[in-house]
Amino acid sequence: MSSGVIQDIVYVIALIGIGIPLGLYIYKVMTGKLTWKPIAALERFTYKVMRINPEEEQTAGRYALSAITFSIFGFAILFALNMLQGYLPFNPEGIPGTSAHLAYNTTASFVSNTNWQAYSGESALSYLTQMAGLTVQNIVSPAVGCAVLFALIRGFQRKESRTIGNFWVDLVKATYYVMIPLSIIVTLLLVSQGVIQNLSAYVHATTLESGAEQIIPMGPAASQVAIKQLGTNGGGFFGVNSAMPLENPTPFANFVECLSLLLIPAALCFSFGRAVKDSKQGRAIFIVMLVIFLLALIGMTMSENVAAPQFDGVAQSGSMEGKEARLGVDTSALWATATTSASNGSVNSMHDSYTPLAGGIQMFLMMLGEVVFGGVGCGLYGMLAFAILTVFIAGLMVGRTPEYLGKKIQAYDMKMVCLVILTPPLCLLFGTALSTFVPTITDDFTNTGAHAYSELLYAYTSGAGNNGSAFAGFNANTVYSNMGIGLSICRSIVEAHGGVIVAMNNDRGGATFKFALPLE
């Protein structure tokens, strides 16, 4: 048995072994059955400062409005940080503010949990923007996803209620009890492996071979790397993401980061089963996600282990183009599968250099709508939209009123489900199609022919799917691409990462679905 196969088996075992107890923990925290005294005190203080009554619940409309309002304020703050960073502290390299179109693209990307980057972090953003802007959004955007998921779960649970909880309470609990503690643990693990965490100026060193000067970037990387992986945020502190030794120095660090990509989304499947009092439902959804993930992993690994035709006869282990020699083919393929299964987008290899089949698998996983584990919360409720559609069609085929978990599914609900499922592919198709009419778009391609088109298609697939990875041969840091992909990312305002809030409606005494669409 090869080392790559052993690694994949250990990965799946760790994902299940940690995911099940973590799912139970998240369920208890989000339902108020588990608190820690120090955090509970901070939680109460936060409610007092925000003037929030934690006992007061909200209707679906108020819940959605709260989520949208929170994201709008986050958008404004992050946009301002990008534009004004040249005048703000914690900027030892004196990096100026970004252009308005890049600030818009970056802000839309991080607020929506996409983390698409049309820049290199070490050369474009100050430490303050990285910490107070990107890292904060890396924490709160998945917390919003977790909050919305439990609003949906309450919709499944409640029969005669018009309320689905309190957004601010759900947000605080997800942030204080889940995102921050887990990110601290992973940060400490990464720092122990050599991932940098400092506020020092960049180091100027002289190379031994040529005597040339080399600039080694510094900064608070470990804390951002930890939560970007755990929160399925993606992006990177450095331009090359986890291919950078300062961000991903050892095999153990690589395994921890790669495991973090899917850990919370996998755990939430078990949280869902426990919360709706039907563990089989949670296990069934997890198994479906895992089977698709494993099939994609097998296909990508096999494709990458067969060297590209132009390398035939050369002694090598698989197609190593665009991959770190220290990581190899199997480790790179595992990461690529995980990051495009989750709405993460971080990379430890160049996706643009993958074989055609492997690159196609990456785009297929994103085109599914990021439902194979997907993002924190949004992957699960995106998959639930498919489940509701399936139950509706099956119900019509057998002549019974469609129901899911005891809830009747009616015409309005199906309109919302179709909106959820169809919005991402429509955004990526229209965005890609319109881009081909831009006369200067060919100037942004590194390659020619079919692969150049794949770079463009991948960019809009990544944006519309809230993934954030790229066939990075495509230069996306232009006015048109920043605005176009940014608009594609912002479809979250309408489609909310493929998620819905399911609220209850006392319609004729029965419990039916009622959908509202929050910004995440």
| pLDDT tens digits for range 231-289 | 888 777 888 888 889 999 999 999 999 999 999 999 999 999 999 888 898 999 999 99
What does the pLDDT read at residue 314? 57
Residue 414: Cβ-neighbour burial (10 angstroms; 0-12, 13-18, 19+):
middle
Mean pLDDT of the chain: 83
Q: What would the pLDDT profile of 1-49 be if each residue is shown by its tens digit?
A: 688 889 999 999 999 999 999 999 999 999 989 888 899 999 999 999 9
What does the pLDDT read at residue 178? 95
3-state DSSP assignment of residue 403: strand
pLDDT band of 312, cuts 50, 70, 90: low
CB-based contact 435:460 (threshold 8 Å)? yes
Listing DSSP states for 232-255 in one string gives T----SSTTGGGSTTTS-SHHHHH
What does the pLDDT read at residue 17? 95
What does the pLDDT read at residue 80? 94
What does the pLDDT read at residue 35? 86
pLDDT band of 197, cuts 50, 70, 90: very high
* Matching residue, tokens 């955004």: 427
Q: Give the residue from 117, 333, 349 showing the smallest Cα distance to 224.
A: 117
Pairing of strands 501-507, 510-516: antiparallel
What does the pLDDT read at residue 405? 76
What does the pLDDT read at residue 256? 95
* Matching residue, tokens 């930890």: 226
Number of H helices, E strands in the chain: 19, 6
pLDDT band of 508, cuts 50, 70, 90: very low
Partners of 511 in the β-ladder: 506
Angle at 497 (CA atoms; ends 109, 51), nearest 5 degrees = 80
**C-alpha dihedral (465, 469, 471, 473), degrees to nearest 10:** 130
What does the pLDDT read at residue 495? 46
Give the neighbor-by-neighbor strand order of the sheet with 403-404: 403-404, 407-408, 510-516, 501-507
d(CA 499, CA 148): 8
CB-based contact 52:70 (threshold 8 Å)? no
d(CA 176, CA 458): 35
Q: What would the pLDDT profile of 346-383 be if each residue is shown by its tens digit?
A: 888 888 888 889 999 999 998 888 888 888 877 787 88
CB-based contact 30:150 (threshold 8 Å)? yes
3-state DSSP assignment of residue 215: strand
Partners of 504 in the β-ladder: 513
* Matching residue, tokens 């584990």: 373
Which residue did the predictor score with more confidence, 228 or 504? 228
What integer is the mean pLDDT of 200-228? 88
Residue 517 pLDDT > 90: no
pLDDT band of 481, cuts 50, 70, 90: low
* Matching residue, tokens 């450095």: 238
pLDDT band of 313, cuts 50, 70, 90: low
d(CA 174, CA 145): 9
What integer is the mean pLDDT of 482-500? 53
Q: 114-123, 194-203, 257-266, 322-331 — which is least confidently predicted? A: 114-123
What does the pLDDT read at residue 383? 86
Q: What would the pLDDT profile of 148-172 be if each residue is shown by its tens digit?
A: 889 888 877 776 778 888 999 999 9
3-state DSSP assignment of residue 185: helix
Question: What number of other Cβ atoms are within 10 A of residue 33's Cβ?
Answer: 8
Q: What would the pLDDT profile of 97-113 be if each residue is shown by its tens digit?
A: 988 888 888 888 888 77
CB-based contact 235:345 (threshold 8 Å)? yes
In angstroms, what is the C-alpha Rg of the chain?
22
The H or E element spanning position 205 is strand 203-206
Pairing of strands 213-216, 403-404: unpaired
Write the CA distances from 149 to 276, 338, 371, integer angstroms. Answer: 12, 21, 14
d(CA 407, CA 156): 7
Angle at 227 (CA atoms; ends 111, 501), nearest 5 degrees = 50
Which residue did the predictor score with more confidence, 18 or 414? 18
Q: How many CA atoms lie within 13 A of 174 on its CB side?
A: 27
CB-based contact 239:121 (threshold 8 Å)? yes
pLDDT band of 459, cuts 50, 70, 90: confident
d(CA 402, CA 235): 41
Listing DSSP states for 92-130 in one string gives TT-PPPPPHHHHHHHHHHHHTT----SS-HHHH--HHII
d(CA 471, CA 196): 27
Q: What would the pLDDT profile of 176-187 be if each residue is shown by its tens digit?
A: 999 999 999 999
What does the chain come to in residues?
Answer: 520
Q: How many CA atoms lie within 13 A of 251 on its CB side?
A: 10
3-state DSSP assignment of residue 490: coil
- Its pTM stands at 0.88
